[in-house]
Structure 1
Amino acid sequence: MALKKLLKSILNVNCIRILNVEFDQSSSPLYIHVNITKGQRSRCPICGRKCSGYDSTTERRAWRALDLGSCTVYILSDLDRIQCPEHGVHTEQVPWAYHHSGFTKEFEQQAAYLALHLNRTKVSKLMRINWRTVGTILSRTKDRLEPDSSIRFKNLKRIGIDETSYRKGHKYVTVVVDHDTGRVIWVGKGTGKEVLSSFFALLTQEQRESIELASADGARWIQSYIEEWLPNCERCIDGFHVVQWAIDCMDELRKEVWREAKQEEKEQPKQKKGRPKKEEVNKTEKHGKSYKYALGKNPENLTEHQISCLDEIRNLYPRMFRGYQLKEGLRKVFQCSKETIDEELKAWLSWACRSKLKPFVELSRKIRRHKEAIIATVKHGLSNARIESTNNKIKVLIRKSYGFRNIQNLIDMIMIVCSNLYFEIKLPYQLR
């Protein structure tokens, strides 16, 4: 009797009666045969209501429990089938496990908790289960913590849309974030029009009309889909992406100047033998590589060496320095006030299109197409910084797990970690 009480306490399960305990010395598993108490029998595993029996079929099933030292522990019990008026025919509910699970509740809690802190290979070795089972447990945990995902779509006013890669070979997921709560509200496999339309189709007409702002990158098709699905929404384009366009133009201009300098070097007569004088040393390689970081960084973050590089650029390569000034001018546009944004952006576009620098002339045309979105970004102070931080969390999850083959397991893990469901998962000793 004392042994049964001890096992009952270890299993941390009520409403059971231990019948027998078996131990196999060859493979070291511990089998605990139990029966459910009369008051908890014949209950629906979904709604928990008392139901009538469906047939006389009785099946013995086994559930994996937490290990006891070096022994694997299994709970064995005979179950009947019941017929629920609402959910139909199912196997009766057991108090130690969730529906459609071959593990106890505490086992799943511990496996899910460890999977969020360790990579799945280590979790599978520690828990002595297959690595695919870890993903299944995570998916089941997400469904248990949040049975209805549509509650995330309530009171949506400001959303952010972006995509991030999860695997080599251009494998992407599209992520939608609520700016007001900071939570991920939807994740879909792939990127493009069809993927984003599947998200908008989940929203009701009232929810689509309540969205006022949507931040995204500069993809053209996003604007057309926002106009189609969100009638009252104003699009904002993230300032980071716009400044990155200018940095790319600056880098293209730097390469162009570098190629011209290399061509001039080839046309010059060959140097005489011996060590050249200091003023004859070729600086082509320097402005081809060393200048890259000085031109790309913000002025307040420059080192003394990079400041000296800018001084050399101002004296030796005026075209390159004009490109740098244009890049900094665009960055300052996003720092101006709401009242002056129209004038500042108009002045920069006029400056860029008259600069005679081909990369920045093309950039001015591109920014002119996104002019309204840029003005809305400054006026409403909305950026994709929150969703970019979410993308970084997703990258950490992928690296920690050494990748995902099952995209649904990845989506479920993103929803757990990036939607505050993470804090509801506790270790078994915290449940007592």
Structure 2
Amino acid sequence: MNANLLALFWEGFTIESFHPFDNQSLLIRLQPAQGYTPCCSGCRQRTLAIHDTHFRRVRDRDLFDYRVWLEVPVKRVRCVTCGPRLEQIRWLPGRQRLTAGMIHWVESLVRLMPVQHVAQLLGLHWHTVKTIDHQRLKREVQEPERHRLRRLIMDEFALFKGHRYATVVIDADTQQVLWVGEGRSRAAVRPFFEWLGPEACSRIDAVAMDMNTAMDLEVQHHCPQARVVYDLFHVVAKFGREVIDRVRVDQANQLRHDKPARKVVKRSRWLLLRNKANLKDNQALELEELLQANQPLMTVYLLKDQLKELWYAPSEEEARQRWKDWFSLALSSGLAPLQQFARRLKGYLEGIVASARYRLNTSVLEGMNNKIKVIKRMAYGYRDNDYFFLKIKAAFPGKVR
């Protein structure tokens, strides 16, 4: 091993000695290079006045099979401008116990591997790796261009078990994650609009969301000119839970004396909820037979498909007409769950009709939520929401306009 060659890694220092101190570690003692003049870390002036010197043991990048430790003499200089200050060592930032090279190596690895795996690979504490990555994300995650925002998408995702949620907001045009915050109440999403500011809020034309009243009210308060657009997927999913499931259970209960027929109805949930285009041939045939045999299920199934057509109307006028037709059919169906759902949905009509003008939906965010789950699993859960939310922003920097 050539000591002079190794010394090139540590500017201003040469190797005094080196030796293994266990089977995996190598200790290298450094000394100031001949003619080296310390530099004040405050004003960057060079000075020969030394206040004191202490030795710091720091970790550097691994060398072959060895974990490299350096013993570095670090001076405090007596600067005429700043007073006693640590000398500046370019490859040893601040009071770190890791060299700049080691930090860069950790940053490169943590882009590819979970924090826990990087910590185990390098023999570092989980919090050390997490702190390095957190600082990297703070440097690299770009501040969104608020003045260019026009259309937003808001949705929620499960943060932890136990019904704890977070809200995420993205730019509908670039798919950049703009903001992530814990909770889904009005108070929880209000910091986003405060961050956005009155000027940027006044430029927002439309916001897509599910039927979350808290988000709706907060958008109306901060962006009164913006149209709220309710997402097709969430409305249809709600129709499936509150109407199709309820009618299916009611029909199964009425067939309690006909066990074979009751069994068919009870097991039909996924046939009724899936899109017909996604069914296999035998499933489509089974669905057809079920609907022909049960008029109430036929009614709610057909009205589910007709409800979707509201989101594909070519104009707001056509969307309103489709709504009137659908609402009339729902009320005349004689099915209590369907009638109740239709009356509640009427209060959200403006957000449904707006979809004819603003073709927005949260399906993009649904795909993002799957990736967010992967990020969360890779970390075996995050103990720091600020760090977790930065990871999400870094994963979705958005497309170039």
Instruction: Give TM-score scaled by structure 1 length.
Output: 0.81
What does residue 283 of structure 1 align with?
261
Task: Tell me, yes or no, if structure 1 residue 363 matches structure 2 residue 341.
Answer: yes
How far 1:194 moved relative to its partner? 1.7
What does residue 73 of structure 1 align with?
68
What does residue 174 of structure 2 align with?
181
Structure 1 distance, partners of 2:337, 2:398, is 44
For these two proteins, the number of residue pairs brought into alignment is 393
What does residue 309 of structure 2 align with?
332
Q: 1:415 to 1:52 in 2, by over 3 A?
A: farther
Residues 35, 78 of structure 1: 8 Å contact kept: no
How far 1:283 moved relative to its partner? 2.4
Q: 1:157 to 1:299 in 2, by over 3 A?
A: same
Structure 1 distance, partners of 2:173, 2:83, is 41
- 3-state SS, counterpart of residue 236 of structure 1: strand
Q: 1:125 to 1:333 in 2, by over 3 A?
A: same
Q: 1:34 to 1:166 in 2, by over 3 A?
A: farther
Residues 207, 227 of structure 2: 8 Å contact kept: yes
Q: Share of identical aligned residues, percent?
A: 24
How far 1:3 moved relative to its partner? 2.1
Task: Tell me, yes or no, if structure 1 residue 115 matches structure 2 residue 110.
Answer: yes
Residues 4, 18 of structure 1: 8 Å contact kept: yes
Task: Tell me, yes or no, if structure 1 residue 389 matches structure 2 residue 367.
Answer: yes
Task: Tell me, yes or no, if structure 1 residue 42 matches structure 2 residue 75.
Answer: no
1:247-326 to 2 correspondences below 5 Å:
247-248=240-241, 249-262=243-256, 264-265=257-258, 282-289=260-267, 291-326=268-303
Task: Tell me, yes or no, if structure 1 residue 31 matches structure 2 residue 28.
Answer: yes
How far 1:97 moved relative to its partner? 4.5
1:212-270 Cα shifts (integer Å, max 9, x gaps): 211111111212111111233221111111111122121221112112212x44xxxxx
What does residue 244 of structure 1 align with?
237
1:184 aligned partner, one-letter code: V
How far 1:416 moved relative to its partner? 2.1
Q: CA RMSD in A?
A: 3.1
Structure 1 distance, partners of 2:276, 2:168, is 33
Structure 1 distance, partners of 2:202, 2:382, is 36
- 3-state SS, counterpart of residue 282 of structure 1: helix
Q: Which moved more, 1:392-401 or 1:186-195?
A: 186-195
Residues 184, 214 of structure 2: 8 Å contact kept: no
Structure 1 distance, partners of 2:78, 2:229, is 55
Q: 1:55 to 1:361 in 2, by over 3 A?
A: farther
Q: Which moved more, 1:18-27 or 1:228-237?
A: 18-27
Structure 1 distance, partners of 2:79, 2:338, is 71
Q: Which structure is higher in RCO with an 8 Å CA cutoff and minimum separation 6?
A: 1
1:258 aligned partner, one-letter code: A
Structure 2 distance, partners of 1:105, 1:216, is 44
Runs (5+) with no aligned partner, structure 1: 266-280, 422-432
Structure 1 distance, partners of 2:377, 2:163, is 16
Q: 1:256 to 1:72 in 2, by over 3 A?
A: same
Q: Which moved more, 1:186-195 or 1:75-84?
A: 75-84
1:102-136 Cα shifts (integer Å, max 9, x gaps): 32333233323333433333222111111222221
Runs (5+) with no aligned partner, structure 2: none
Query: Which of 128, 146, 157 does residue 153 from structure 1 map onto?
Result: 146
How far 1:150 moved relative to its partner? 4.2
How far 1:401 moved relative to its partner? 2.0
- 3-state SS, counterpart of residue 381 of structure 1: coil
Structure 1 distance, partners of 2:55, 2:211, is 59
Instruction: Give TM-score scaled by structure 2 length.
Output: 0.87
What does residue 89 of structure 2 align with?
94
Q: 1:131 to 1:362 in 2, by over 3 A?
A: same
1:377-415 Cα shifts (integer Å, max 9, x gaps): 232101112222221111011112221222232122222
How far 1:327 moved relative to its partner? 0.7
How far 1:98 moved relative to its partner? 4.5
Structure 2 distance, partners of 1:345, 1:90, is 73
Structure 2 distance, partners of 1:176, 1:319, is 39
Structure 1 distance, partners of 2:173, 2:351, is 20
Q: 1:379 to 1:142 in 2, by over 3 A?
A: same
